[in-house]
Amino acid sequence: MSDHPFTKTFPVSWWELHRDSRALAWRLMERGPFQGVVAITRGGLVPAAVVARELEIRTIDTICIASYDDKKQGELTVLKGVPGDGEGWVVVDDLVDTGKTYRKVREMLPKAHFATVYAKPAGRPLVDSYVTEVSQDTWILFPWDAEMQEVAPIARR
Ligand SMILES: O=P(O)(O)OC[C@H]1O[C@H](OP(=O)(O)OP(=O)(O)O)[C@H](O)[C@@H]1O
Ligand SMILES: [Mg+2]
């Protein structure tokens, strides 16, 4: 028995992630202005850099959180927080899945605007702005977790 609920994979290339992060920036333009970006490490770092560049924001802080070990969700550990209640800040992460991470960050920054590039249904109510929804049983494969490799023809798989 698998120890995770994912039956499909949705691979995302660097180019697609850049395009989707820019689409998020367009959406955030209508919701700002923001005084700074809070990136949720580590997955939020790349989209946060793209959003900050597009919104011309140079003030960037991090909340450092760990919860998944490969595809298995474990205890959530906050390694580093930020001061304040989040007013005027936009929080950026790569995705919301169960919503556990953003539920915790909302407790820490109740007045912030919450953004992700991708959202699954269980976590969507915790996000104010996102770009693309994927089903709950899909694993989003990010470019930093992947490499190019040979595959067999479909007919032989
Ligand atoms: O909505 P949730 O079920 O909480 O899942 C979403 C979070 O899980 C992943 O981070 P992870 O803890 O794996 O750390 P990482 O960003 O360092 O890979 C992802 O980057 C989100 O931050
Ligand atoms: Mg993360």
Residue 1 is assigned to a structural domain of this protein: no
What is the spatial distance between Cα 51 and Cα 43, in angstroms, rounded to a whole number? 14
Domains in the chain: how many in total?
A: 1
Domain that holds residue 103: 19-141
Residue 72 is assigned to a structural domain of this protein: yes
What is the spatial distance between Cα 46 and Cα 13, in angstroms, rounded to a whole number? 13
Task: Give the domain CATH number at 49.
Answer: 3.40.50.2020
Per the annotation, the verdict on 145 as an active-site residue is: no
User: Sign of the C-alpha dihedral, residues 122, 47, 146, 100?
Assistant: negative
Per the annotation, the verdict on 97 as an active-site residue is: yes
Residue 102 burial by Cβ neighbours in a 10 Å radius (0-12, 13-18, 19+): buried
Helix, coil or strand: residue 128 = coil
Per the annotation, the verdict on 70 as an active-site residue is: no
What is the spatial distance between Cα 97 and Cα 101, in angstroms, rounded to a whole number? 9
Interval between CA 112 and ligand 2 midpoint (Å): 18
Residue 57 is assigned to a structural domain of this protein: yes
Structure tokens at 15: 């180019």
Substitution candidate for ligand 1 out of 68, 71, 126 with most atoms within 8 A of CB = 68
Residue 87 is assigned to a structural domain of this protein: yes
Residue 129 is assigned to a structural domain of this protein: yes
Please give the helix or strand (H or E) that residue 90 lies within, else none. strand 89-96
* Packing angle, helices 45-54 and 14-29, rounded to 10: 50
- For 29-88, the pLDDT digits (tens) are 999 899 999 999 999 999 999 999 999 999 999 999 988 887 888 899 999 999 999 999
Residue 100 is assigned to a structural domain of this protein: yes
User: Which of ligand 1's atoms lies nearest the C-alpha of 73?
Assistant: 3
Residue 85 is assigned to a structural domain of this protein: yes
ipTM above 0.95, yes or no: yes
pTM: 0.95
What is the spatial distance between Cα 27 and Cα 90, in angstroms, rounded to a whole number? 12
**Number of Cβ atoms within 10 Å of the Cβ of 73:** 15
The answer to whether the CB of 43 is under 6 A from ligand 1 is yes
- Residue 7 is given by DSSP the state -
- For 82-137, the pLDDT digits (tens) are 999 999 999 999 999 999 999 999 999 999 999 999 999 999 999 999 999 999 99
The answer to whether the CB of 93 is under 6 A from ligand 1 is yes
Residue 3 is assigned to a structural domain of this protein: no
